[in-house]
A and B are shown apart, each in its own frame.
Chain A
Amino acid sequence: MKDNYKRIPMPVRYAINFVLLLAFLLIVNELINNKTISLSYYYVILSIGVNIILAVSLNLATGYLGQLPLGHAGFMAVGAYASAILIKNIGVTWYTVPLGMIFGGLVAAIFGIIIGIPALRLKGDYLAIITLGFGEIIRVVLLNIDSVLGFKLTYGAASLKNIPKTTNFLNTYIVVIITCFVIHTMMKSRHGRAILSIRENEIAAEACGIKTTYYKTLGFVVSAFFAGVAGSLYAGYLGLLNPSSFGFMKSIEILVMVVLGGMGSMVGSVISATVLTALPEALRAFQNYRIVAYSLLLIIVMIFKPSGLMGRYDFSLSRILEKLLNLKSSAGKKSDERGS
């Protein structure tokens, strides 16, 4: 029976997904161009994009690797400032936007290596503590670095202003897709399996010959890289950066998205990042109650469903299509049998 199960070949799967993603891109782009989607909703869409990248990248470290970094906003801040300063200095041309993103991501990744190699040798809660400390240090440094350097670099509490607004729907969308694609394929690869095994049981993984420190650092650094990329998108979308927006609270906000969606579920992160970004905009009138509900929700989800709303479930369109295909063919086979 199992052998008769029809499968969709890989190239076709990619083609289906690609076509659907392209169709979505074109539809939304068209809606934006003919102003069906108003400007305020447009900005909500951009911030949804940024938050999806943040949540998916944090999910790599929290859900797949099983660590609890509390300084994700720190990496985002590093990437945001790095790319903003770069773009401000070299001006906007066609190649500066991707260059800025890659630069922001790389700087964040370097910080990820610097903090990750020592931190990941420590076990358990210490990683949470050390990344928390790191995030706060980044904020304090961004706030006060100018007085040490003697010239204006980050402008401290006065905010880094006049950053070219280069973020638009097209590049946000492409970066979101690339982020999800890279992390998804990475998790399906040999390296991804190694990372998952560390989450399941670090000692057993080590005993199987997996270089746990290497893979922990790898997961952590990739996560930091995408946080940096998200930061550079954020800088290009807001046009101004202030260290206070990258505090401990921001890290927690991203963590809430990951946790509610389900630790280890990419579709969970995407959905909860979308909902948790869009809902507050829709419920502006209930602003105050919203955050209270937010925190209550976090506690309730942890008590009743600690794995998050989606658990570790991951959505796969091809899997559903395959099921439908086989349903039909097995129904057809049954009628054949009856006929003979």
Chain B
Amino acid sequence: MKKQMALSVIINQIMNGLQSGSIYALVALGYSMVYGIIMLLNFAHGDIIMVGAYIAWYSMTSFAAHPLLAALLAIVGCTLLGVIIEKVAYTPLRSAPRISLLITAIGVSFLLENLAQLIIGAGAKKVPAIFSGAPLALGAVKISFNAVVTIIVSLVTMALLTYMVQKTKMGKAMRAVSEDMGAAQLMGISVNRTISFTFAIGSALAGIGSILYVSAYPQANPTMGAMLGLKAFVAAVLGGIGSIPGAMIGGYAIGLAEALVSAVGLSVWKEGVVFAILIIVLLVKPTGIMGRPMQEKV
């Protein structure tokens, strides 16, 4: 009996890890794609998730919108926001030194957080449940409906993304621009449009991530994106920044590592462990699990 209990606890923790890992993976994909294409650590990415959560909250509490409609609105809102940020803040700096671009990204992140705080207030808002259903029972183990939806949605999204990047024309353009921006332009690829499209896709993934996140932790507050973004970023680095399968692997690895640390009763060290993983990865294999070695050009 005791053995069975222990087993169900372990499976539960693994499911928790997979659930948060799926969210990290989706967010990490956004980081990774943007980094792959313009070498920018988009610090505002985490805050796009926050905006998505607020859109979902607002449309459900103020217009009593159907949860799925709210989710759709959040995803569309995030996509638009991502593209606007890219056009307003990052495009003028295309030829500026990388450090300016990075600082601008930090500024945008700062701005979104503080605008949210100014408009909506610092207190956390309770987001109504988005997915409702009976938990899935596997013998003694009960898996929450949210976890099942989260894992399935993230897997389907990642499959679609992989198909798009590998098989469609736009995906080919994205790969070409990340390979060599100048050469891609010479081949007749519209670099600006491709970069905007990458931001749109990355932000849409963040939107999906935000919906999955608020279905797991049903509240929205102005700084919720900061820590989530940083962890997803660690996931992207762990998997190899710039690599799409890497971001997925990294996301699940970080989620499982967190669940493991919580399971052994050290949940206060959770964040410390995540960043320790980051430092170890950077020291041992800076390019991550799937990353390509970077060439140094004079």
**Residues of A near any B CB (own CB < 8 A):** 62, 66, 68, 118-119, 122-126, 128-130, 132-134, 136-137, 140-141, 143-144, 147, 203, 248, 252, 255, 259, 263, 288-289, 291-292, 294-296, 298-299, 302-303, 306
Q: Known interface pairs A295-B114, A302-B103. Does A130 touch B282 (Cβ–Cβ under 8 Å)?
A: yes
* Interface-side segment among B15-23, B146-154, B190-198, B267-275: B267-275
- For A204, the closest partner residue in chain B by CB is B298
Tell me if B114 and A130 are in contact (CB < 8 A): no
Which of the residues A141, A248, A306 comes within 8 Å of B226, measured between beta carbons? A248
**B28-64 vs A: 1/0 string, CB under 8 Å?**
0000000000010100000000000000000000000
Chain B interface SS verdict (over half): helix
Contact partner of A123 (CB less than 8 A), chosen from B100, B230, B279, B296, is: B296
Instruction: Using CB atoms, name the residue of chain A closest to B117.
Output: A288
Query: Is B136 close to A, CB under 8 A?
Result: no
Question: At the interface with chain A, which of B73-81, B105-113, B166-174?
Answer: B105-113
Query: Which residues does chain B contribute within 8 Å of A288, judged by CB atoms?
Result: 114, 117-118
Among the 9-residue stretches B5-13, B90-98, B137-145, the one with 4 or more Cβ atoms under 8 Å from chain A is: B90-98
When the two chains form their complex, are residues A140 and B271 in contact, meaning their CB atoms are under 8 A apart? Answer: yes
Instruction: Collect the chain B residues with CB atoms within 8 Å of residue A263's CB.
Output: 99
CA distance A244 to B60 in the complex (A): 33
Determine how close the nearest CB of chain B comes to the CB of A77; give it in whole angstroms. Answer: 14
Q: Which residue of B lies closest to A258 (CB)?
A: B103
B residues less than 8 Å from A299 (CB atoms): 89, 104, 107-108, 111
Please state if A129 and B276 are interface contacts (CB–CB under 8 Å). Answer: no
Residues of chain B in range 231-263 having any CB-CB distance to chain A below 8 Å: 233-234, 237
**Residue B278 is within 8 A (CB to CB) of chain A in the complex:** yes
Q: How far is the CA of A289 from the CA of B115 in the complex (A)?
A: 9
B181 at interface, CB cutoff 8 A: no
Residues in B with CB closer than 8 Å to A126 are: 282, 286
CB nearest neighbor in B for A300: B107
B85 smallest CB distance to A (angstroms): 10
Q: Does B114 contact A125, Cβ atoms closer than 8 Å?
A: no
Interface SS of chain A:
helix
Question: How many residues of B sit at the interface, in one of the four size bands?
Answer: 35 or more
Asked whether, in the complex, the Cβ of A302 is within 8 Å of the Cβ of B115, the reply is: no
B102 interface contact, C-beta 8 A: yes
Contacts of A124 in B (CB 8 A): 98
Q: How far is the CA of A203 from the CA of B110 in the complex (A)?
A: 34
> In this complex, what residue of B is CB-closest to A304?
B92
Q: Which of B191-249 contact A (CB under 8 A)?
A: 226, 230, 233-234, 237
Q: Quick one: given A140-B269, A144-B268, A303-B89, are A291 and B110 in contact (CB under 8 Å)? A: yes
Q: Answer whether A128 and B102 are a contact pair too, CB < 8 Å, given A136-B230, A203-B298.
A: yes
Q: Does B156 reach chain A (CB closer than 8 Å)?
A: no
Contact indicator B103/A132 (Cβ below 8 Å)? no
Contact A292 B111 (CB under 8 A): yes
Nearest-CB residue, chain A, relative to B111: A295
Chain B contacts of A298 at CB under 8 A? 103-104, 106-107, 110
Contact yes or no, B98 A302, CB < 8 A: no
CB nearest neighbor in B for A122 = B286
Which residues of B lie under 8 Å from residue A132 when comparing CB positions? 230
* Contact count A vs B, C-beta below 8 Å: 112
A336 to B123, CA, bound (A): 76
B278 touches A306 (CB 8 A): no
Complex Cα–Cα for A129 and B269 (A): 19
Q: Smallest CB–CB gap between A190 and chain B, Å? A: 25
Contact A303 B117 (CB under 8 A): no
Docked-complex contact B296 and A306, CB < 8 angstroms = no
* Residues of A with C-beta under 8 A to B268: 140, 143-144, 147
- Interchain CB contact under 8 A, B103 and A129: no
Q: Which residue of A lies closest to B90 (CB)?
A: A303
Q: How far is the CA of A259 from the CA of B100 in the complex (A)?
A: 9
Query: Complex: how many Å from CA A140 to CA B294?
Result: 32
Chain A residues lying within 8 Å of B186, measured Cβ to Cβ, are none
Are B271 and A296 in touch, CB under 8 angstroms? no
The answer to whether A129 touches B237 (Cβ under 8 A) is: yes
Q: How far is the CA of A288 from the CA of B116 in the complex (A)?
A: 11
Q: Which of A68, A125, A133 contacts B275 (CB 8 A)?
A: A133
Establish whether residues A302 and B276, one from each chain, have CB atoms under 8 Å apart when the complex forms.
Answer: no
Q: Decide if B41 touches A129 in the complex (CB within 8 Å).
A: yes
* Contact yes or no, A252 B106, CB < 8 A: yes
Asked whether, in the complex, the Cβ of B272 is within 8 Å of the Cβ of A248, the reply is no
Complex Cα distance, B230 from A136, in Å, reads: 10
Residue of B101, B104, B234, B298 contacting most chain A CB atoms (<10 Å): B104
Q: How far is the CA of A289 from the CA of B117 in the complex (A)?
A: 10
Chain B residues near A134: list those with CB within 8 A.
275, 279
Q: Does B159 contact A (CB under 8 A)?
A: no
B134 within 8 A of A: no
With A252-B110, A295-B107 as known contacts, state yes or no: A302 contacts B100, CB within 8 Å.
yes
B283 at the interface (CB under 8 A from A): yes
**A252–B118 CA distance with the chains assembled, in angstroms:** 19
A306 adjacent to B100 (CB under 8 Å): yes
Query: CA separation between A134 and B98, bound complex, in Å?
Result: 22
A-B contact pairs, 24 of them (CB 8 A): A125-B102, A126-B282, A126-B286, A129-B233, A129-B282, A133-B234, A133-B279, A136-B230, A136-B272, A141-B272, A144-B268, A203-B296, A203-B298, A248-B230, A252-B106, A288-B114, A291-B117, A292-B111, A294-B110, A295-B108, A298-B110, A303-B89, A306-B93, A306-B96
Q: How far is the CB of B33 from chain A (nearest CB, A)?
A: 16
Q: Which chain A residue lies CB-closest to B109?
A: A295
Interface string of B285-297 (1 = CB under 8 A from A): 0100000001010
